[in-house]
Structures are given as C-alpha cells and as structure tokens.
Structure 1
Amino acid sequence: MKKLSVRRRHPLAAVVVLLLALAATGGLYAAFAPADKAQAEESAQSLAIDEGKKIYAVGCASCHGTGGQGTSDGPQLVGVGAAAVDFQVGTGRMPLQQQGAQAPKKKVIYSQAEIDQLAAYVSSLGAGPSVPTKDQYDPQGANIAKGGELFRTNCAQCHNFTGEGGALTHGKSAPSLEGVDPKHIYEAMQTGPQNMPSFPDTTMPEKQKKQIIAYVKEVNGDNTASPGGLSLGGLGPVSEGLFAWIFGLGAMIAVATWVAVRTAKAKKS
C-alpha cells in the first residue's frame, strides 16, 4: 500500500492516467464509430444504385442496353463514370429525343437527386471520372489571362475564341458556352462528350481547367462590355467580313451611283 501511495503522489501520475484515458477513448471510437459511419455510407450508396437502376431501366436501357453494354442505338456506358451522366442528363442532352448527328441541349427532365442516383448506378458498372466538387470547378481567383491562352490553344478551333460556338462537319456543331454551369464545363473537359476530345487531369490539370472556366465566364458575363463596340455576336472574321462586304461595299456602290447620276445631270445642263 505504501508503494502504491508513493506512485500516486508521483508528478507524472496524472499525465499517465490522462494518456491511458485518451487511448481507451480513441480505441473505443475507432472500434465502433467508423464502422457505423462506413455502414451508413455503404447503405446509402447501395440505395442510390438501386434507385438509379430503376430510372435507367425506364429512360436509358432501350438505347444503352439493360446492363449498359450498348446497342446499335447507343454506346456502352461501362466505364464512362458519374461525371458523364451528370453532364449528359444534367444538360438535358439525355435521354435522347431522337437519333441525329448529335444530342442537342434541351430541358432537363430529371431532378438533381434522380441524376445523382442514375450516376451512381452507371458508375457501379465500371470506374470512370467522378462528379467534381465545387472546389474543383469554382473559378474564383483563377488566372483569367492564362485561361484565355489555354482556351485559344485547345478550344477556340471549335467553340470560337469567345465561346460562341460554331459549325462542324456532317451536321454537327460546337455549342455556345454562354450561361453554361461551371460544373458542366469541367465535366465536359473531363469526359469529352460527343465530338469533343477529353482532357483528363493527366493532360490538363485541375488548375488549368479552372483558368479556362474563369475565362469563359469572363467573356460571356452579363456585364461584359465589348471595348470595340458592337461585337457582331463575337463570331470573329466571318461575321465581321460579311458585315464589311454587305454594308461597306453597299455604301461604296451607293456613293458611286450618286456621283454618276450627279455627273450625268451636270453634263446635260
């Protein structure tokens, strides 16, 4: 008893007791809490996949196959990932209204919760790009000038240098980027929908994607005024050349005609 009493009076006794209590608390938490949390997340994911499978069977299976294996009317979805589903369905391109050169953007028919469930099911068929978080696609603070350089190098050939869109071959087109949600722009770069090439993080890092999104939002913003005056739709030399040809040449012809008429009248008099 005397030895135990001496140990209790030791200056480090309280520290040892505190450490033992913390270790016991941490061990109990690690043994019970994470398991419950993991089970809850797994259960929620399983439920989302089940609900997504039901939506898929009604709206997607007729073209993409009952198991996402694809058919003559639609490509396989194994390995496309959740990001591709969120983009295609979240912009109304899918379900497809009718077969054509490409799927046009239209009214979204599913809620975001249903899109998430559908994405969870398709993602379960094979690993692919996941839906980006806001931190990944939020352009706040990104270098707009650098984004402009990247956009003109990688995107302007199809989307025009201000993102107004443009015609492609065989009835296809690059859509306008005006008013497009930054998340969908990011997902398009990740997944390469339809005629667009994909730009995974190994090719174009997240930082560069943010810079491109920042540039697109800057040039297509509601308060963006053209320093050169009328932008002519931002379509570049085609529309500007057409304007000059019709109005410029037309004005020159009108002036030449007026001079000729005045000269003829002067000779007669």
Structure 2
Amino acid sequence: MQEQSIGAMLAAARQSAGLTVAQVSAATRIREAIIHAMEQDDYGQCGGQFYARGHVRAVARAVGLDPEATVHLYDQEHGGAPQPVRAAAVFQADKKINVPERRGPNWTMALGVALAIVVVFGMMRVLGGSGDHVQTAGVRQASARPSVPPNTPITETPKPSKSASSKSMVTVQIKAKRSSYVNVHDAEGRRLFSGTLKAGKTSTWRTPEKVDLVLSDAGAVSVLVNGKRVKGLGGRGEAVRRSFEAPKQPTRQRAR
C-alpha cells in the first residue's frame, strides 16, 4: 500500500477529529487558504522551508498528530532538515569595527544648503506661476500595491497575450452553495483565483484554451462551463481537480 503524503495525513487527521479548516485556522492563526494548500501538498504559500516546517508542526498539533514525527516525515520528503548555523559564522568577535570619529555640526555647509533650497524654491514659484503644484512631464507616481488582509482570496488578472483573440475561449462560472476553497489556473499556469468562495457568491472566469480547477468540497459548488452545467463533479466534502478545455474552432476551407 502506498504511504499517504503529509498533506493527506493532515487532511485525514482533521476530518477524523471533526474539525473544519476554519477551526484549525483559528487555533493555529494560519490562513485558511494556506491550510487548504498544505492538504494538497502545496507549500509554496508558506514563505519558505523554515515557515513551512513551522506550519506543519502547528497544524499537526491542532489535529492530534505527533508534531515532531510529522515534521520529520516532511523533512524526509523535502531533502532533510536544514543545517544549523554556527554562532561563530555569524558573530566574528575578532573582526575590528571602525567607529567614525564624532565631529561637531558644520554650520557653514548647513547654511549653504538652506540658502540653495530657498533659491531653488523661489525659481520654481516664478517659473511655475502662482499655483502651489509643481507639474512634471512624463512622470507618473507609482501607487503602492495594497496589502492583502488574512483570509482574503488572492485574485490575479492575467495579461492578455497578442494571440488571445485568435484562440478559443473557455468560460467557467462557479456558484457556492456553501463556503468552499477554490483554486483556478489558466492554460499557462497563471493563477486566476485562490481562496475561499463565500456561500451564495458567484464568480466567472474567461480565458483562452483551458482552465484548471481545484475544489476542496465539490458538493458545495455548482459549475457551468460555456453555459452548460457540469454533472457528477463530486460529493460533499470531496476534493477534486478538473480541467476544462475551450471548444475547438472549425477550420475554414479555401474556396476553389
């Protein structure tokens, strides 16, 4: 019999303990999306091996598994435990530290800089008119990317390629009857959506060629592909992975 993976062990232990992913998330303070990904053996959202080992230990303790034994199995699957770093390699006591000599403030230089600032500001006011705003040509201010709060689905809109208009498109619509984790990727592996789709919500994605879909609870959602409902997707609590391809375009024959 083939042994279970770490993710399958965590999922089976959680279900045996009668816990939901939300309850495990509240107990460990780990986002639900990361726990769902870990149960699918995807540790890319953990932020590296160090944090992945910590997440495995915390989730194993919450679902009733032996934390150290589970981390040991994780290390065996991912190349062994990280090597410890010697303190001597970090702190070199024999290295001489040069402390710059403290000097008094250079008032002459400070006065010169202040005078230059006043002159430049006056020239800008004269050249720019009576307005208080300084116009810059061809310069756009870059807006900071908003931070994603915990338990918020991550949605990325793929950039349309030049040949997208000539490719067949596939449209996938998912409606959640109960809250369920959903992961959607396009044909090139770009993430279109990753997170929990709340009960009663409906989301639609349209992309060329193919859509790869991962559902943590197939019985909690209904799926329409190009307007047709997908039957036999899966039962309650069943995790499934499906791919849906766009309909092939008819080839045009040349007129003789």
TM-score for both structures, normalised by structure 2? 0.22
Flag the structure with more relative contact order, 1 or 2, with Cα contacts below 8 A and sequence separation at least 6: 1
More helix by share: 1
Give the number of the structure whose alpha-carbon radius of gyration is greater. Answer: 1
Q: Larger % of strand: which?
A: 2
Normalising by structure 1, we get a TM-score of: 0.22
